[in-house]
Amino acid sequence: MYDRCLDFSEDKIDSIHYYADYISKEADQLKFNKGNVLSLRLKGIYEDLSNNYEKAIEYYLQSLQAARVIHAPEYEMAALSDLAIAYFSIREPEKAKAFYLQCARMSELDGKIPSLINTYNNLAVIYTQLKQYDSSHLLLNRAIQLGKTLDRQGKVSLSSTYNNLGNLYFKEKKFDEALPYFWQNLIRHNNDGDYSGLWVARLNLADIYIEKHQYDSAVKYAQSAMELAQQLESKSKEADTYSILAKLYEYQGKYNKAYEYIKKWYSLDTAILHSDTYKTIAALQERFHAGEREAENKLLQEKVEKETIRTRELTLVAVGLAIIGILIAIGFVIKRNAHRQLQKTNDLIIQQNEKLSELNYEKNSLISIVSHDLNTPFATIQIWGQVMQNNADRLTPEQQKAMDRILQAGMYGERLIRQILDVEREDVGSHKLLLEKFDLRAFAEEMVDNFKPMAQKKNISLQAEATGKKLFILSDRYLVGRICENLLSNAVKYTPQGKNVWISIHDEHDHIGIKVRDEGVGIEKEELPYLFSKYSKISSRPTDGEASNGLGLSIVKRIVEELNGRISCESQIGIGSIFTVLLKK
């Protein structure tokens, strides 16, 4: 009902007063706490439209107070806006501006676009009246930026904003800039049937045509504005229209007519606003501020009482904090003692680590020396074995077989020593990385050819799974070869006769993968984490009694890491294993 009253035209102001009383009575029965605010505002609007600004301001001030009591910011903003409009109507723009600024601050906190646009519009009108044109431009441009999209969607109307912008240009005497905005509003209000807005548009057009000395057009729009004002039964609109007609005839030099319209304007305007109004309004304002001061005093008294309670609470909190402080201090002493004990333990661990490092260094040195020195006897065995083998025609078959075993054992011993040295030194070896670009698919096929004799002894099918497409990698050919040799050798060793071993090369984005897959005995799942450790021993054994010292995979891991790659293994007992090496391209 309240919202419906806000949409009433001026010819229904008696209905506004009736519904204001009705809302007040019904709200009391329903215990609806907003009823008083709504009723007081409607009564203010009734008095405002009746040009009784003294009573209007009294009701608006009561509505503002009631809105603040129930903490209803939307109605508080409405009351502030109403007060500003009323003060503007009685030619007190500075007071109007004060109320509009309060309203603007609340609107910005609220953040609702329609409310912000309305507030910016009203403030802009005041700034225009006060000849602060830059501020007015700024506010109107803000309103247009906020509402342009919503205006196209029909959710808000920017007609007031465009009208105010036209008035601003008019005040700045930029008549050609103002004219399109007045025309735009005339068309808009003709379409939507808003007679009050249509009156404003016609009056503005009359005024601007007067300034442009296009008097025929000015007469047309001034007279049609007067017809609307009388139709709306609005004395204030009639008075403003008489003022424009007086200006029109003055510009034409028809001073008698101008004088007649000035008298009509004066008689209406002074009837609307007489001198006693100012005194009464000032008294109302003072009573309102006195009420505010009383409310502030009560609030201050409540604050004093709360502060007393708060002081007691703070005393209790201070005592509590003191107890906590003592506990923290005790905890700190305990923690400091524990830290000292921990420091002693750490020092002991550091000493033990240093001792272990020394022992490890001595162990590595001993292994290196022993392994190096063992090279000589194995090399001697190899040399003399080859000398004797050159005279094989003098040996019996049994002696020839023994000689082959001696040479084979010498080679195995020499290789074992080399592997021990590879594992124990800090880098892969004395080998210096020599990077070159080579086709890894072709390289894999070469490796398969090298190991086929070894595989054929066990009737194992050794295959390279590679398409004809070349796949290049930038790496060290020798070290990649050692990786493949170790993996293929292990695969053949741990694969039973008549089975298969594969090596495949594949592209994986920024890596190239080397996979060696076999149908061997497999590796226990719990042994996989230790597979690449030094001297690791697993339960799986080579299928034809081949020798295995547990060093090969440790060396492979070291070489892979040297080449900035990764190695992994998947395996199932009785099915086989897959070793995957990923190297960067």
Domain locations along the chain: 1-90, 91-181, 194-273, 435-584
Question: For 529-550, what is the mean pLDDT?
Answer: 74
First to last CA, the chain: 79
Sheet holding 566-572, edge to edge: 461-465, 500-508, 511-518, 576-584, 566-572
Assess whether the region 91-181 and the region 435-584 belong to the same CATH fold.
no
pTM: predicted TM-score of the whole model, two decimal places: 0.39
Tell me which of 115 and 428 has the higher pLDDT.
Answer: 115
Long-range contacts, stretch 222-226, CB < 8 angstroms, 24+ apart? 222/248, 225/199
The pLDDT score that the predictor gives to residue 272 is 52
Distance CA 283, CA 279 (A): 6
Confidence of residue 368 (pLDDT cuts 50, 70, 90): low
The pLDDT score that the predictor gives to residue 275 is 44
Question: For 192-196, what is the mean pLDDT?
Answer: 84
Q: Which of 168, 236, 176, 225 is nearest to 202 (CA)?
A: 225
Confidence of residue 546 (pLDDT cuts 50, 70, 90): confident
CB 44, CB 60: distance < 8 Å: yes
The pLDDT score that the predictor gives to residue 118 is 82
- pLDDT tens column, 38-87: 999 999 998 888 888 888 899 999 999 998 999 988 888 888 888 888 88
> Which residues lie across from 511 on neighbouring strands?
508, 584
The number of beta carbons lying within 10 Å of the beta carbon of residue 515 is 18
For 1-90, CATH gives: 1.25.40.10
The number of beta carbons lying within 10 Å of the beta carbon of residue 267 is 12
DSSP state of 487: H
Tokens 């609007």: give the residue: 45
Q: Which of 58, 37, 45, 41 is nearest to 14 (CA)?
A: 45
Find the range with the poorest average confidence among 161-170, 448-457, 532-541, 567-576.
532-541
Find the range with the poorest average confidence among 97-111, 186-200, 270-284, 371-385.
270-284
Exposure of 79 in the CB half-sphere (CA atoms within 13 A)? 24
Distance CA 433, CA 562 (A): 9
The pLDDT score that the predictor gives to residue 276 is 46
The pLDDT score that the predictor gives to residue 91 is 80
- pLDDT tens column, 270-317: 555 444 444 444 554 555 555 555 555 566 666 666 776 777 777 788
CATH 3.40.50.970 fits 194-273, yes or no: no
8 Cβ partners below 8 Å, 6+ apart?
15, 16
Range 121-135 burial, b when 16+ CB lie within 10 A, else e: bbbbbbbbbeeeeee
CB 460, CB 495: distance < 8 Å: yes
- pLDDT tens column, 4-34: 888 887 677 788 889 999 999 999 999 999 9
Q: Which of 19, 112, 100 is nearest to 74 (CA)?
A: 112
Which H/E stretch holds residue 513?
A: strand 511-518
The pLDDT mean for the chain works out to 82
329 Cβ partners below 8 Å, 6+ apart?
none
175, amino acid identity: F
At 72, phi and psi to the nearest 5? Answer: -115, 90
CATH 3.30.565.10 fits 435-584, yes or no: yes
The pLDDT score that the predictor gives to residue 358 is 62
Distance CA 228, CA 322 (A): 80
- 91-181 topology per CATH: 1.25.40
At 124, phi and psi to the nearest 5? Answer: -60, -40
Q: Which of 217, 134, 207 is nearest to 168 (CA)?
A: 134
